[in-house]
């Protein structure tokens, strides 16, 4: 079942929302989901979802000290490292397309 982070408009605090979202990323990255393209099948493990959870935690760790978010960084760092170890960070091999062999011009157009 999909879980949502909710914030009431009367108590909106950007820092509080950011912390909730990062906690959600730390808790939920291992669960299968429907992905960004709303796949019409059972939830799956999508690399993109895991990558975005890693990005959220990585950025939160960079903001933690200036914003005084002590106490959470140890867990966020541990989860970001776990996500990183599950994602293949190697670049894919470029697709090699053999050169096309075109027929000689004289066989295409005859005068």
The mean pLDDT of 72-80, rounded to a whole number, is 91
What confidence tens digit (pLDDT) does each residue in 65-74 have? 888 887 778 9
The mean pLDDT of 7-35, rounded to a whole number, is 83
Question: Distance of CA 105 to CAs 11, 41, 99, 100, 109, Å?
Answer: 74, 51, 17, 14, 6
Geometric angle at alpha carbon 35, from 30 and 36, rounded to 5°: 135
Judged against a pLDDT cut of 70, whether residue 92 lies above it is answered with no
Backbone angles phi, psi at 44, to 5 degrees: -135, 170
The mean pLDDT of 15-42, rounded to a whole number, is 86
Cα–Cα distance for residue pair 38/48, rounded to 1 Å: 13
What are 95's two structure tokens?
């697709």
Long-range contacts of 59-67 (CB under 8 A, 24+ apart): 60/18, 60/19, 60/22, 60/25, 63/18, 67/15
State the pLDDT at residue 18.
Answer: 85
The mean pLDDT of 30-47, rounded to a whole number, is 86
Judged against a pLDDT cut of 90, whether residue 36 lies above it is answered with no
């Amino acid at each position: 079942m999909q879980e949502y982070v909710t914030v009431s408009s009367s108590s909106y605090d950007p820092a509080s929302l950011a912390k909730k979202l990062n906690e959600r990323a730390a808790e939920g990255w291992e669960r299968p989901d429907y992905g960004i393209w709303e796949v019409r099948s059972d939830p799956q493990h999508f690399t993109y979802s895991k990558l975005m959870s890693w990005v959220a935690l990585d950025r939160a760790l960079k903001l933690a000290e200036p914003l005084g978010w002590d106490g959470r960084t140890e867990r966020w760092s541990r989860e970001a490292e776990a996500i990183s170890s599950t994602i293949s960070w190697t670049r894919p091999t470029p697709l090699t397309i053999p050169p096309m062999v075109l027929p000689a011009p004289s066989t295409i157009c005859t005068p």
